[in-house]
């Protein structure tokens, strides 16, 4: 296992992979030093890696907290879709719940810091979600996320529920294959699903307002 993989629990690590498939525990004290230290660790991880989100169980901590952030690439040869052209500031979500979600679904190509040897997977998520959670200051927050921020939130929320993106993917491609598919128009990086009936999104078995139960 290389140095990058050593930072994250991997799905195929027989010693620790159960952490990625076990529902996470509620944080009892959102202002505790333990949570502050974990938040600082997440910040450092996202600074030093290309990932756009990280959940606590990927770092070996079985608690309900994740972080998301995204820096839009500059000097692109071709314009990015609107959903990928805006930065997403670093945000933390502790004990999150989804309170409302769209009927519309979108496809996006997912990878994961806990599945570094897996190809990218085409996964369905709800186009937008509304949520409640606690932030890094211990304050309760609510909000609505759309586009890429909603996708990343749902990917990380799946981690807290237990499970990974590739269990919900309808297609797989290596980065090289995907780049070729984008260039010749066979695939889109962000695609609204015109007929979502029968499509299983990554959070298909989550009930709105439900607390994650360990």
Q: Is residue 117 part of a domain?
A: yes
Quick one: 3 exposed, middle or buried, by C-beta within 10 A (0-12, 13-18, 19+)?
exposed
Contact 72, 86 (CB under 8 A): yes
Contacts of 48 (CB under 8 A, 6+ apart): none
Q: Is residue 206 part of a domain?
A: no
Q: Is residue 154 part of a domain?
A: yes
Q: Which of 141, 28, 163 is nearest to 91 (CA)?
A: 141
Q: Is residue 202 part of a domain?
A: no
Q: Is residue 208 part of a domain?
A: no
Q: Is residue 204 part of a domain?
A: no
Contact 132, 97 (CB under 8 A): yes
Specify the CATH number for the domain of residue 8. 3.90.45.10
The domain tally of the chain equals 1
Each residue's pLDDT, cut to its tens digit, for the chain (214 residues) gives: 444 445 899 999 988 889 999 999 999 999 999 999 999 999 999 988 888 999 999 999 999 999 999 998 877 665 678 878 889 999 999 999 999 999 999 999 999 999 999 999 999 999 999 999 999 999 999 999 999 999 999 999 999 999 999 999 999 999 999 999 999 999 999 999 998 989 999 999 999 999 998 7
pLDDT of residue 161: 98
Q: Is residue 212 part of a domain?
A: no
Q: Cα-flanking dihedrals φ and ψ of residue 154, to 5°?
A: -70, -35
In whole angstroms, give the CA distance from residue 136 to residue 158.
20
Q: Is residue 93 part of a domain?
A: yes
Residue span of the structural domain in which 53 resides = 3-192
pLDDT of residue 79: 62
pTM, 2 dp: 0.94
């Amino acid at each position: 296992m290389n140095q990058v993989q050593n930072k994250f629990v991997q799905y195929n690590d027989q010693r620790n992979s159960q952490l990625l498939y076990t529902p996470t525990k509620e944080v009892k004290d959102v202002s505790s030093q333990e949570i502050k230290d974990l938040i600082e660790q997440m910040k450092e991880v996202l600074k030093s890696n290309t990932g756009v989100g990280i959940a606590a169980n990927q770092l070996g901590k079985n608690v309900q907290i994740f972080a998301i952030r995204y820096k839009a690439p500059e000097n692109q040869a071709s314009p990015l879709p609107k959903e990928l052209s805006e930065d997403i500031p670093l945000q933390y979500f502790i004990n999150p719940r989804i309170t409302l979600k769209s009927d519309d679904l979108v496809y996006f190509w997912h990878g994961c810091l806990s599945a570094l040897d897996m190809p990218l997977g085409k996964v369905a998520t709800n186009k937008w979600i509304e949520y409640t959670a606690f932030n890094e200051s211990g304050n309760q927050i609510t909000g609505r996320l759309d586009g890429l921020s909603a996708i990343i939130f749902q990917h990380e929320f799946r981690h807290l529920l237990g499970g990974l993106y590739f269990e919900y993917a309808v297609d797989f491609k290596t980065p090289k294959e995907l780049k070729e598919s984008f260039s010749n128009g066979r695939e889109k990086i962000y695609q609204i699903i015109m007929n979502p009936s029968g499509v299983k999104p990554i959070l298909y078995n989550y009930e709105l307002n439900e607390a994650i139960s360990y």
